[in-house]
Amino acid sequence: MTDIIRIPNIQNYTPEIINGELILTPKKNYITEDELYMTKVKGSVIVDCVVKGDDIISTATNYRSILVDIWKSMPVQKILQTTKFNFKLTNENGEKGYNWYPTINMSFQSKNAQETLKEIINMIKVNKYNIKISIKLETGKIIYFKID
């Protein structure tokens, strides 16, 4: 037996030495924004998500919850000026697809996962926030996306 250990594709790992032990963590291959928009997220599951401003804004694992958390951090006027969603400032209670969200004191019409994800990215840019998100697609493949 030789003392040589060969690891193929080592460039795909981040090495760390902790307590004298070599730990290799697979690197995440982040996709671009264009690739994210071309990816069908219907039926997907968010594995992990962190949205940060000065503090952590959201760690939710549901598209709508992430978006509402971001909206909660914003002034109403800024939301209304920059959103692609339809809002009403009154409690519409299910009328014409509007749902009331007391945490933001507004009703909005929900959209599908694809459009909600686009709005999340839009709001991340508007607020100059950071996001790291891992999404498990319906196919089982996990994709990674971030904005720093």
What's the average model confidence in pLDDT over 78-89? Answer: 96
Residue 32 half-sphere exposure toward CB, CA atoms < 13 A: 3
**Token pair listed for 58:** 């959201």
**Residue 1: per-residue pLDDT:** 59
**Residue 95: per-residue pLDDT:** 86
* pLDDT tens-place string over residues 26-39: 888 999 999 999 99
What's the average model confidence in pLDDT over 8-13? Answer: 87
Average pLDDT value over all residues in the chain: 94
Q: Please report, for the chain, the start and end positions of each structural domain, with discontinuous segments joined by +.
A: 31-147
- Listed residue (111, 113, 118) closest to 37, CA to CA: 118
Q: With cut-offs at 50, 70 and 90, classify the pLDDT of residue 2.
A: confident
pTM of the model: 0.85
* pLDDT tens-place string over residues 88-120: 999 988 888 899 999 999 999 999 999 999 999
Give the bridge partners for 130, in sequence order. Answer: 52
Distance CA 62, CA 91 (A): 23
Helix (H) or strand (E) holding 117: helix 113-127
